[in-house]
Structure 1
Amino acid sequence: MATPDLLRSIQDNRIDKVIPESVYDSNLKKISMEELRRSDPDQITDLGVTDPFPLFTNEAISLMRQEFLNRDIFLKYTRYSYNSTSGLDANLRGYVKDMDTINCPFIHSAWNHPLTIDLINKMAGVELEIIYDYEIAIVNLSMKSEEQAAEERIRFAREQSLSGVSNGEDIPAVVGWHYDSQPLVCVLMLSDTTNMIGGETCLRKGLREGETTEEVIPVPGPSRGNACILQGRFIEHIAPKPLGSSERMTMITSYRPKNPLTVETAILKTVKPEINWSSRYSDYYAEWVDYRSEIIKKRLDHLNSTIKTRRVNHKFDKEAVMDNLREISKYLSKTYEEMEVPDEEWRKIIQNNNRK
C-alpha cells in the first residue's frame, strides 16, 4: 500500500524527482568566448557556442520544410550562395515575411513563439529578440551532385584541416569562412543526419602568444530538430560540405539584445545586397534602416526620460548627457556607413559576380 508521503509526491506531480538546474547546466556543454580566445568588449554574452539541444520536433521540421520548399516560395526567394566554396549551394532568405505578407505562417509562428524565445534566451544567457523579419529562418542548402572522387577530396581536406595540418582554408563548404553580421545566431538542423559524415560547423579559436596558425575545432553536429547557438559576430566559422548524405539544410535565425541600451554590433559586411545575392536591395536596406531607427528612438526616449527625472531634482549631468548623445550619434553614423560600398569592396563584388 502506498505511504502518505508517496501519494503526496504523486499528487504534487513528483516535484521531488525534478532534475536540478545544476545537472542540466553541467551536462549541456557551453564553450565560452574566453575558452575560444575570442573575448571582445562588445560581446553581448560570455557564451561562444552551445552543444546541440532539442528545439523543434520532427513533425515541426517537416512542416517547415513543406513551407519553404513550396515551388513558388523556393523559386522566388532562393539564390546561389555568394560565398560557397563548392559552387552548388544556395540561400533562402527574406521569405518568411515579405513586408506585411507572411508567406510561411508555421515557420513565422514557431520562431516567434514565447517558448522558443524563452529557451533561446536561457541557452544564450541574455534576453534577446529577433533582429528583424528578413533574418527569420534563413535556409542554407547544400545541393550535392558531385561524384565519389569529389567526396574523397572533401574527406581528405576535412581530415587535413582538423588534424592541424592546415588552417582550414581547404575545407569545401556550403558557407565559407566568415564572421556573422548579426550579434548572435541560432542554427537549426533540418536534414536527417543519420548517414551524414562531417557537415558540422567548424570554428577558429584565437591565437595564443607565439602561435601562427589558428586552431580549427568542430562543434558537435546537431541531429534533425536540434540547434546550437553561436555568437558568430566575433567567432570565425564555416559550414563544411558533408559526406554520405544527399543534402545539408540548416535554418538560421539572428538575434540582437532586447535591451535597446545594450551595445549592439550588427553590421552589413556579409548581408548587404551588393554582396549577398539573397538580400533583395529595396527590402533589405529598408528593414535595416527601420530597425536601426527604432533603436535610436528608444535610446533618445530613455535619454529624455532620464533628463526629466533629474530635472525634477534640479540635477543636470551635462557630461553624462553628452556621452550619451555621442553614443547615439556613433550608432547613427554606423547605420549609414555600413550601407556604403568602398572601392575595394566593389572590386571583390565584380570579381565574384560571374560565378555561381
Structure 2
Amino acid sequence: MASAALIESIHNGNLHKSVPESMYIDNLAATYQSLKDTIPTLPIKFDPLKHLQYYADSDAREKFSNTRTISMEELGLTSPLQISETGVSDPFPLFTDEAVDLMRSEILNKETFMKYSRYIFNSSSGMDCTIRGYVKNDNEITCPFTYEAWTHPKTMELVNKMAGVELEIIMDYEIAHVNVSMKSSESVEELIKKSRERAMSGDSNGDDIPAVVGWHHDSYPFVCVLMLSDTTNMIGGETSLRMGGEHKGKVVSVPGPKSGSAAVLQGRLIEHIAPVPLGMSERITMVTSYRAKDPTKGDESVLSTVKPEINYGTRFDSFYSQWVDYRVGILKERLDIANRTSRDENGRFKKEETMAALKEIEAYLAKTYKEMEVSEDEWARAAK
C-alpha cells in the first residue's frame, strides 16, 4: 500500500512529478515567445473552412481521400473486440498552419504549461512530459481554440471517415492531451540512431527503442494523434506497431506525420510505441481519444495508462468524476435499449435475450469500478 504522503500528493495533482520551471525556460520559452510575436492577441474562433486543411486546400482534400489505412486483419490482430476494420492510418492532412500555431500557443503558455505538465510515467528517455486535462478544466474551457478545433462536427466527420466508424470523444479530460519530448543528449541520439537501424532492418523486437511513450496499449478504443512540431529536419518519428498472427513479434512502422497532419489508431488492441526522433529540438504531439458513438458497440476502455495513481498528468478529482459520468451515461443508454427491445413484434417477452443484455450491462458496471482499483504492482510503480 502507498504511503500517506504519496496518496496526498496524487490527490493534489501529482505535484511530486511536476516539470521544473528550468526545463520550460531552457526548451520552450523562446518557442512560445516567437508564437506570441506572430499571433494576434485577440481570440480567434475555430473556423473549419479556414483551419481544416480538407476545406482550406484542395490538394489536401485529395491527399486525405488517398490516405492508406491498414486493417486489423492485415496487422494480424483481428479481434471480436474491435469496433472497426481499420487498425491504423497513414498520416493525413488535418489542421492548417494557423490552427497548429494557435494550439501550440495555448499549450506553451507558461502559466498553462507549468500548471498542467507532468513527467511521462513510461518515457524511456527521461526528458519527456505530458499535459492532460488542461483544455476544459471541469466546467471552464481554458483553451477555447483547441476545444473547438477537436469538438467541431466537421473535425469529427474527418476523424470518423478515417477510422471507419462513427466515434465520440471519450470525455472532456481526454481532449487533446499533449506529449512533449525535449532534445536528447548526444549519447542518447547515438542510441536512438542504432536502435532505429536495427528496427528498420528487422533485427529488433522493439524493446531497445528509446521512446517518448514506451510500448503500451491505449486505455481507449481509438486515438487520433496530431503532430504539432516542424518535422522538416526530423529523422524518425514513426509510430511503431507490434503485429500478431503469423507476423507475431514483427515490428512495423507507420510514417511520422508532418506538422498539422494526424493518424488514427485502434490503440486499445494494438501495442505501439512513439520512438524519440533525431534532429529536433522538441517533438510535440496532441492526442484525442474516442469510443464508438453507438452505445451497443463494444467499449473495452481501461484505466491502465491514465489513472492518476499511474499517469502523473491525471488529476484525481476531475478525472475520476468524468470517468464515472461517462460510464453511467453508457449504462443508462444500454438499459433503455434493453428495456425497449425486451419484447418481439408480437409482444412476447424475450427472456433469454434480455437476460444476456442485462448480464453484459452488469459486467460493464463492474468493470467501471474495478478499473478504479489500484493493484500492489501499480502502487509500487507509483512510489518510484
TM-score between both structures, scaled by the size of structure 2? 0.82
**What secondary structure is seen at the aligned counterpart in 2 of 1:91?**
strand
The answer for unaligned runs of 5 or more in structure 1 is 1-17
Q: 1: distance between equivalents of 2:81 and 2:113?
A: 36
Residue 7 of structure 1 corresponds to which residue in structure 2? none
Q: 2:63·2:92 contact (CA, 8 Å) conserved in 1?
A: no
Matched, 1:339 2:372: yes
Cα drift, residue 346 of structure 1 = 2.4
User: Relative to structure 1, is the Cα distance of residues 39 and 71 closer, same or farther in structure 2, using a 3 angstrom cutoff?
Assistant: same
> Counterpart of 1:270 in structure 2: which amino acid?
T
**What secondary structure is seen at the aligned counterpart in 1 of 2:373?**
coil
User: Relative to structure 1, is the Cα distance of residues 336 and 24 closer, same or farther in structure 2, using a 3 angstrom cutoff?
Assistant: closer
Cα drift, residue 39 of structure 1 = 1.0
Residue 382 of structure 2 corresponds to which residue in structure 1? 349
Q: 2: distance between equivalents of 1:23 and 1:231?
A: 21
Residue 67 of structure 1 corresponds to which residue in structure 2? 106
The correspondence for 1:122, drawn from 145, 161, 166, is 161
Q: How does 1:1-356 map to 2 (within 5 A)?
A: 27-146=66-185, 148-208=186-246, 214-307=249-342, 310=343, 313-350=346-383, 353=384
Q: Please tell me the root mean square deviation across aligned C-alpha atoms, in Å.
A: 1.9
> Which shifted more, 52-61 or 156-165?
156-165
Residue 43 of structure 2 corresponds to which residue in structure 1? none
User: Relative to structure 1, is the Cα distance of residues 69 and 35 closer, same or farther in structure 2, using a 3 angstrom cutoff?
Assistant: same
Q: 2: distance between equivalents of 1:106 and 1:336?
A: 34
**What secondary structure is seen at the aligned counterpart in 2 of 1:262?**
coil
Q: 2: distance between equivalents of 1:101 and 1:94?
A: 11
**What secondary structure is seen at the aligned counterpart in 1 of 2:286?**
strand
Q: 2: distance between equivalents of 1:186 and 1:119?
A: 11
Q: 2:309·2:378 contact (CA, 8 Å) conserved in 1?
A: no
Q: 1:207·1:214 contact (CA, 8 Å) conserved in 2?
A: no
Q: 1:162·1:168 contact (CA, 8 Å) conserved in 2?
A: no
> Counterpart of 1:336 in structure 2: which amino acid?
Y
> Which shifted more, 236-245 or 162-171?
162-171
The Cα offsets for residues 143-191 of structure 1, whole Å up to 9 and x where unpaired, read as: 1241x23211210111112212221111110000000000000000000
> Which shifted more, 175-184 or 155-164?
155-164
Cα drift, residue 86 of structure 1 = 0.3
Q: 2: distance between equivalents of 1:24 and 1:73?
A: 33
User: Relative to structure 1, is the Cα distance of residues 74 and 23 closer, same or farther in structure 2, using a 3 angstrom cutoff?
Assistant: closer
Q: 2: distance between equivalents of 1:220 and 1:156?
A: 18
> Counterpart of 1:348 in structure 2: which amino acid?
R
**What secondary structure is seen at the aligned counterpart in 2 of 1:187?**
strand
Q: 2: distance between equivalents of 1:198 and 1:23?
A: 21
**What secondary structure is seen at the aligned counterpart in 2 of 1:110?**
helix
Cα drift, residue 217 of structure 1 = 1.1
| Identity across matched positions, percent | 58
> Counterpart of 1:108 in structure 2: which amino acid?
Y
Q: 1:171·1:240 contact (CA, 8 Å) conserved in 2?
A: yes
Answer with 1 or 2: which has the greater Rg.
1
Residue 4 of structure 2 corresponds to which residue in structure 1? none
> Counterpart of 1:232 in structure 2: which amino acid?
G
Q: 2: distance between equivalents of 1:23 and 1:140?
A: 26
The answer for unaligned runs of 5 or more in structure 2 is 1-57
**What secondary structure is seen at the aligned counterpart in 2 of 1:142?**
strand
Matched residue pairs, number? Answer: 326
**What secondary structure is seen at the aligned counterpart in 2 of 1:185?**
strand
> Counterpart of 1:102 in structure 2: which amino acid?
I
TM-score between both structures, scaled by the size of structure 1? 0.88
Q: 1: distance between equivalents of 2:382 and 2:132?
A: 19
User: Relative to structure 1, is the Cα distance of residues 54 and 311 closer, same or farther in structure 2, using a 3 angstrom cutoff?
Assistant: closer
Cα drift, residue 22 of structure 1 = 11
Cα drift, residue 237 of structure 1 = 0.5
Q: 2:64·2:92 contact (CA, 8 Å) conserved in 1?
A: no
Cα drift, residue 281 of structure 1 = 1.1
